[in-house]
Amino acid sequence: MIFTAHINIMPLKELLDPQGKAVNESLHKLSLQQIQDVRIGKHITLSIEAADKEAAYEIADQACKKMLYNMVMENYQIEIK
């Protein structure tokens, strides 16, 4: 069966996100002052061939740990659909 893993990889809350800060300031200049904070990360979808949801989660988790996320600066969340 084919599962789709939706992975969000975001900069840790404790760290400054300079890209998000720059976008926030630009949005204010476009009259969107209601936006108070912006954080920018990655959204990755994986198509995974697996027997069940748990196996698909395990493969997505391995992909994150082996390659996709940087444990020093980011955290990740996986949702299997």
Report the interface residues with a second copy, using CB under 8 A: 2, 8-10, 20, 23, 26-27, 30, 32, 34-50, 59, 62-63, 66-68
CB of 47 to a second copy, least distance (A): 4
Residue number with CB closer to a second copy (16 or 30): 30
Whole-angstrom distance, CA of residue 38 vs CA of residue 78: 21
Residue 7: CB minimum distance to a second copy, A: 9
Query: How far is C-alpha 30 from the geometric centre of its chain's CA atoms?
Result: 26
Q: Phi-psi region for residue 33, left (φ > 0), alpha (ψ -120 to 50) or beta? A: alpha
Cβ closest to a second copy, residue 43 vs residue 72? 43
Interatomic CA distance for residues 31 and 54, integer angstroms: 45
Minimum separation from the CB atom of position 50 to a second copy (A): 6
